[in-house]
């Protein structure tokens, strides 16, 4: 083989799937027509434009111009999103464009031109399945109307502060959604929810209202929408009717009044019939010294350990014994997020070595520390932990630092080839999930 261009064509998809950076994919598109064929699609899988990027407004405009002028590229777009924290894996079947900030501080004509360009681009994205448009003040009635006509749209995340921006009544045009997230909803949007959920209730499976403190989301407003959703008398009837037998993921947000033995027993009993694969729990902010009990962790692992693929604990301190128990009894675990004391790190490597499928691990700092007190784990110590882990591990993080793991070939003196782990900078343009807003 004299050049990279002489590679057998059938090898290109396997090679390109390991290319992460968009700039690298763009370069591959310029090699020849075969490289272009296989690289252009993943190039549009993840386009991240944030307000701190240089010339970010210009880049957004150019992106929309591309989707307008090249309808074939717009067909690749399946997810139009500000950022998804979501299960966060982006596969080849999910086309994601992440717009961190949509420009709004513009003169009227410039803003109108950009909105018109945006609407034309959205009309070309006929395979759009998920959209998150969350910047305050950037969403309009016309954008929502255009999105409501997307035939395959199933997930919608919007900013709920609609005053002088969009008509809340247009939300009722979305009738086939399975997942809805509304951030900081205003009173008109909340008042529209009973009517909206009445239309969408047949297909709706997830409804999330995000508002740290609100006078408009009340017990009564939740009662008004409850008849249109798939739950009533939740806790008791779920146990007696076995309605959680298909639940695979649960997120719990707790405070110090809830973390007592009676509450944890009730939760463990409620979840026992469910085939859980993902378990998430976090405190709802600011509690220093709040722990997750060893007994509660053990109950969850006893009931669901063989099937669990993710165990995520945020802002709740865990002891090393609980971490070891999780690692021993969750053989399929792929992701582990925990909060631990610094002195417990010496035993972490042994615990992680018990997991054969672990791909991602992140250890958060204890609560109550100021930013300047944030403990730094030296790379040598991180590498020592990685060396005890299995080959499946690809990412490890401590506090605010994330490392990717590569396995480099090393030829021994006797000629045998071994592979040793190395820490390399995190390359993906997507923010690691452990740094996103905790699920609530």
Whether 281 is covered by a domain: the verdict is yes
Whether 379 is covered by a domain: the verdict is yes
3-state secondary structure the chain: CCCHHHCCHHHHHHHHCCCCCHHHHHHHHCCCHHHHHHHHHHHCCEEEECCCCCCHHHHHHHHHHHHHHCHHHHCCCCEEECCCCCCCCCCCCCCEEEECCCCCCCCHHHHHHHHHHHHHHHHHCCCCCEEEECCCCCCCHHHHHHHHCCCCCCEEEEECCCCCCCCHHHHHHCCCCCEEEEECCCHHHHHHHHHHHHHHCCCCCEEEEECCCCCCCCHHHHHHHHHHCCCCCHHHHHHHHCCCCCCCEEEEEECCCCCCHHHHHHHHHHHCCCCCCEEEEEECCCCCCCECCHHHHHHHHHHHCCCCCEEEEEEEECCHHHHHHHHHHCCCCCEEEEECCHHHHHHHHHHHCCCCCCCEEEEECCCCCCHHHCCCCCHHHHHHHHCCCCCCCCEEEECCEEEEEEEEEEECCCCCEEEEEEEEECCCCCCCHHHCCCCC
Whether 362 is covered by a domain: the verdict is yes
Strand order in 155-159's β-sheet? 46-49, 96-99, 79-81, 130-133, 155-159, 179-183, 206-210
* Cβ proximity of 420 and 408 under 8 Å: yes
Tokens of 158: 């919007």
Q: How far apart are CA 183 and CA 15, in angstroms?
A: 39
Whether 182 is covered by a domain: the verdict is no
Q: Does pTM top 0.85 for this prediction? A: no
Q: How far apart are CA 280 and CA 314, in angstroms?
A: 8
Q: How far apart are CA 374 and CA 344, in angstroms?
A: 16
**If 0-12 CB within 10 Å is exposed, 13-18 middle and 19+ buried, where does residue 7 land?**
middle
Whether 430 is covered by a domain: the verdict is yes
Q: How far apart are CA 242 and CA 261, in angstroms?
A: 23
Whether 370 is covered by a domain: the verdict is yes
Q: Which domain holds residue 362?
A: 243-440
User: pLDDT at position 135, please?
Assistant: 80
User: pLDDT at position 375, please?
Assistant: 67
User: pLDDT at position 231, please?
Assistant: 40
What number of other Cβ atoms are within 10 A of residue 120's Cβ? 17
Q: What are phi and psi of 386, to 5 degrees?
A: -60, -40
The domain spanning residue 439 has which CATH number?
A: 3.80.10
User: pLDDT at position 200, please?
Assistant: 83
User: pLDDT at position 227, please?
Assistant: 72
Taking the CA atoms of 233, 239, 245 and 247 in sequence, report the sign of the dihedral they define.
positive
Whether 1 is covered by a domain: the verdict is no
* Cβ proximity of 355 and 333 under 8 Å: yes
Which residues, in sequence order, are CB contacts of 227 under 8 Å at separation 6+?
none
User: pLDDT at position 325, please?
Assistant: 97
Whether 176 is covered by a domain: the verdict is no
* Low-confidence stretches of the chain (pLDDT beneath 50): 82-98, 100-101, 105, 231-233, 437-440
User: pLDDT at position 102, please?
Assistant: 56
Q: How far apart are CA 20 and CA 43, in angstroms?
A: 9
How many domains does the chain divide into? 1
* Cβ proximity of 305 and 297 under 8 Å: no
């Amino acid at each position: 083989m004299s050049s990279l261009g002489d590679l057998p064509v059938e090898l290109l998809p396997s090679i390109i799937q390991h290319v992460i950076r968009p700039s690298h994919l763009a370069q591959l598109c310029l090699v020849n027509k075969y490289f272009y064929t296989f690289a252009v699609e993943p190039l549009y899988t993840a386009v991240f434009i944030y307000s701190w990027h240089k010339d970010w407004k210009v880049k957004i405009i150019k992106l929309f111009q591309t989707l307008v002028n090249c309808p074939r590229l717009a067909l690749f777009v399946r997810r139009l999103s500000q950022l998804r924290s979501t299960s966060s894996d982006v596969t080849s079947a999910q086309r994601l464009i992440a717009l961190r900030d949509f420009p709004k501080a513009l003169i009227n004509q410039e803003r109108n031109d950009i909105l018109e360009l945006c609407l034309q681009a959205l009309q070309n994205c006929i395979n759009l399945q998920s959209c998150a448009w969350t910047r305050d003040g950037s969403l309009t009635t016309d954008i929502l109307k255009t999105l409501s006509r997307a035939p395959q749209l199933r997930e919608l995340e919007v900013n709920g502060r609609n005053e002088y921006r969009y008509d809340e009544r247009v939300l009722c045009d979305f009738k086939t959604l399975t997942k809805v997230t509304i951030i900081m909803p205003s009173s008109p949007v909340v008042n529209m929810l009973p009517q909206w959920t009445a239309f969408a209730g047949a297909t709706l499976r997830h409804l999330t209202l995000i508002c740290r403190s609100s006078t408009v989301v009340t017990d009564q407003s939740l009662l008004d929408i409850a008849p249109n959703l798939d739950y009533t008398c939740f806790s008791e009837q779920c146990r007696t009717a076995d309605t959680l037998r298909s639940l695979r993921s649960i997120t719990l947000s707790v405070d110090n009044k809830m973390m007592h033995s009676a509450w944890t027993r009730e939760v463990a009993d409620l979840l026992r019939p469910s085939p859980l694969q993902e378990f998430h729990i976090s405190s709802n902010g600011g509690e220093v010294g709040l722990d997750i009990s060893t007994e509660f962790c053990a109950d969850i692992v006893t009931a669901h350990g063989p099937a669990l693929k993710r165990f995520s604990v945020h802002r709740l301190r865990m002891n090393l014994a609980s971490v070891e128990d999780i690692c021993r009894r969750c053989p399929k675990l792929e992701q582990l997020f925990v909060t631990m004391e610094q002195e417990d790190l010496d035993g972490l490597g042994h615990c992680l070595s018990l997991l054969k499928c672990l791909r991602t691990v992140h250890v958060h700092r204890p609560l109550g520390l100021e930013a300047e007190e944030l403990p730094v784990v030296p790379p040598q110590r991180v590498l020592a932990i990685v060396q005890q882990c299995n080959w499946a591990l690809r990412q490890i993080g401590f506090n605010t630092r994330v490392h990717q793991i590569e396995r480099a070939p090393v030829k021994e003196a006797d000629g045998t080839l071994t592979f040793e782990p190395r820490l390399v900078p995190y390359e993906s343009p997507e923010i690691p999930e452990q740094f996103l807003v905790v699920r609530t």
